[in-house]
Amino acid sequence: MSKNSWTAQKGEAIANNGNSLQCENESETPEEDKKKVELGKKVTLLRGISIIVGIIIGAGIFISPKGILKNSGSVGMSLVVWIACGVLSLFGALSYAELGTCIKKSGGHYTYMLEAFGPQMAFVRLWIELIAIRPAAMAVISLAFGQYILEPLFMPCDIPPLAVKLATAIGLTSVLYLNSMSVTWTARIQIFLTCSKLLALAVIIVPGMYQLFKGETKNFENAFDVSAIKLSEIPLAFYSGMYAYSGWFYLNFVTEEVENVERTVPLAIFISMAIVTTCYVLTNVAYYTVMSAEELLDSQAVAVTFAEKMLGKFSIAVPVFVALSCYGSMNGGVFALSRMFYVASREGHLPRVLSMVHIRRHTPLAAVLTLYPLTMLQLFVGDIYNLLNFMSFLRWLFIGLVVLGLIYLRFTKPDLPRPFKVPLFFPVVFCITCFLMVFLSLYADPVNTGIGCGICLTSIPAYFMFIYFENRPKWLQQILDSLNRTLQIILMVVPPEK
């Protein structure tokens, strides 16, 4: 892929320099750190489940599930939507499981777009992910962490916005530091945070189910009243539901670090989706047991309102649980996304230094740090919520294209080994769902989706400037090579050994 190399003429020299750097440091490296410099296979089945569950269950289920109720028109229909979105997400997740077991490279969306549709489409996906979607999404979940971790300290007063941003910055920095230092500890803390999320849901589900079994069913009377249902708004309910379930694809970002890929990836995905769907449905049943539909729609933070009604003084713990949930999503997201940048660099679509590994920590340090400046910029100066609104349709467009790529590969590469193979019905239904949501976004909000398309189009000149044309000005090539070498020395990273 010569046209896709960031430093095609200097790549070998940089690699050699990296090996020299490794030799220079061997004399001061402890004996236990002299093992092969590479990303090890440290993601077990339990850790895989914790990555998926830990990222999917963010702040949404605790704060505002009312979007689904509002657009579905009734309590019964809202529960149907939650279940249906779980099933549809499972279809997409199992499609990704097939891709992960037949294309055993990390990188997720980017890698599958590269294999199915070529480097141009893969670079477009990488570009919008890097400059807009991920920094904005990370800033939003980080802000939620900052808001809720401070709430017990300021209750009942409002939290100063500057305090929220400072707490957010500290939380984000700690996540990046953790991911830079140790893959093992990152995975262990993710397991702890996932257990915290499930405990938080249990705090809601158990009292709610207790009330239900005691006969508190008045809020479920006429649960399927169709008088308030508007067919035109049902797709919006599905849009909100699919957003709440998003995150099932993150294990595919770290495929190369998964033990026994053929078994672990499908099993982790299936178990995770079963856990999340069950928890989501039971949590909403608990909400409706304690609150009427009107009370739920009036609440700004459903979990807090529920806790105030059921848990009394213990309700102060709910914001802490929400903060831990957000922190788990931040941690899992950084862990997974850094691997996409790592693979894209290896393919020549990002600077070479991003595909290098720390000589002692064995983490993709440069790739982990990539999101930090862009996220901090979004955090302090950007209107991140509007950015997410007009970029969300691109997420489903490209996820739909990835699953369409699975169907395409079934016909163009029928002999590709597929240790795990899903019925074709699953990817077809999921593709149709994704493209319907994209069409809905274009119809409902053409201005913001148009802006999103405009950002997407900026990838075209970027591709030709940085990737396609090999004969760059000599001064530009020298700057790129010097920058790579400088970062390699500062960060103490080298190309992974083969």
Q: What are the pLDDT digits (tens) for 243-270? A: 788 888 888 988 888 888 889 999 999 9
Phi first, then psi: give them for residue 367, nearest 5 degrees.
-65, -35
- Rounded Cα distance between 40 and 256, Å, is 8
- Rounded Cα distance between 460 and 247, Å, is 27
Burial of 360 (0-12, 13-18, 19+ CB in 10 A): middle
Q: Which residues are within 8 A (CB) of 86 and not within 5 positions of it... i.e. 6 or more apart?
A: 245, 273, 276, 277, 280, 281
> Would you state the structure tokens that stand for residue 122, as one six-digit string?
């893969």
Higher pLDDT, 27 or 464: 464
Bridge partners, 494 (sequence order): 357
- Rounded Cα distance between 378 and 383, Å, is 7
Q: What percent of the chain has pLDDT over 70?
A: 87
User: Between the ranges 50-59, 96-105, 307-316, where is the mean pLDDT highest?
Assistant: 96-105
Per-residue pLDDT at 431 exceeds 90: yes
Cis geometry, peptide bond prior to residue 423 (ω within 30 degrees of 0): no
The three-state (H, E, C) secondary structure of the chain, written as one string? CHHHCCCCCCHHHHHHHHHHHHHHHHCCCCHHHCCCCCCCCCECHHHHHHHHHHHHCCCHHHHCCHHHHHHHCCHHHHHHHHHHHHHHHHHHHHHHHHHHHHCCCCCCHHHHHHHHHCHHHHHHHHHHHHHHHHHHHHHHHHHHHHHHHHHHHHCCCCCCHHHHHHHHHHHHHHHHHHHHHCHHHHHHHHHHHHHHHHHHHHHHHHHHHHHHHCCCCHHHCCCCCHHHCCHHHHHHHHHHHHHHHCCCCHHHHHHHHECCHHHHHHHHHHHHHHHHHHHHHHHHHHHHHHCCHHHHHHCCCHHHHHHHHHCHHHHHHHHHHHHHHHHHHHHHHHHHHHHHHHHHHHCCCCCHHHHCEECCCCCCHHHHHCHHHHHHHHHHHCCHHHHHHHHHHHHHHHHHHHHHHHHHHHHHCCCCCCCCCCCCHHHHHHHHHHHHHHHHHHHHCHHHHHHHHHHHHCHHHHHHHHHHCCCCCHHHHHHHHHHHHHHHHHHCEECCCC
Neighbour tally for 285: CB within 10 Å: 19
Once rounded to an integer, what is the mean pLDDT over residues 61-87?
Answer: 85
**Considering all CA atoms of the chain, what is the largest pairwise distance in Å, rounded to the nearest integer?**
77
User: Between the ranges 156-160, 327-331, 445-449, where is the mean pLDDT highest?
Assistant: 327-331
pTM: 0.81
Once rounded to an integer, what is the mean pLDDT over residues 87-96?
Answer: 93
Higher pLDDT, 426 or 389: 426
Contact 488, 353 (CB under 8 A): yes
- Rounded Cα distance between 166 and 170, Å, is 6
Give me the domains of the chain, ranges plus CATH numbers. Answer: 45-481 (1.20.1740.10)
Phi first, then psi: give them for residue 216, nearest 5 degrees.
-80, 80
Contact 229, 72 (CB under 8 A): yes
Neighbour tally for 281: CB within 10 Å: 16
Q: What are the pLDDT digits (tens) for 154-202? A: 877 778 888 888 999 999 999 999 988 887 888 888 888 888 888 888 9
- Rounded Cα distance between 198 and 210, Å, is 18
Per-residue pLDDT at 205 exceeds 70: yes
Per-residue pLDDT at 20 exceeds 50: no
Q: What are the pLDDT digits (tens) for 454-491? A: 888 888 888 887 777 666 667 777 787 787 788 778 87
Per-residue pLDDT at 33 exceeds 70: no
* Triad 153, 335, 371: Cα angle to 5°: 80
Cα torsion angle, 371, 102, 114, 409, sign: negative
Q: Which residues are within 8 A (CB) of 71 and not within 5 positions of it... i.e. 6 or more apart?
A: 233, 234, 236, 237, 240
Once rounded to an integer, what is the mean pLDDT over residues 139-143?
Answer: 84
Contact 92, 399 (CB under 8 A): yes
> Across the chain, what does the average pLDDT equal?
81
Per-residue pLDDT at 99 exceeds 90: yes
Once rounded to an integer, what is the mean pLDDT over residues 7-34?
Answer: 41
Per-residue pLDDT at 143 exceeds 90: no
> Would you state the structure tokens that stand for residue 191, as one six-digit string?
């397991």
Confidence of residue 387 (pLDDT cuts 50, 70, 90): low
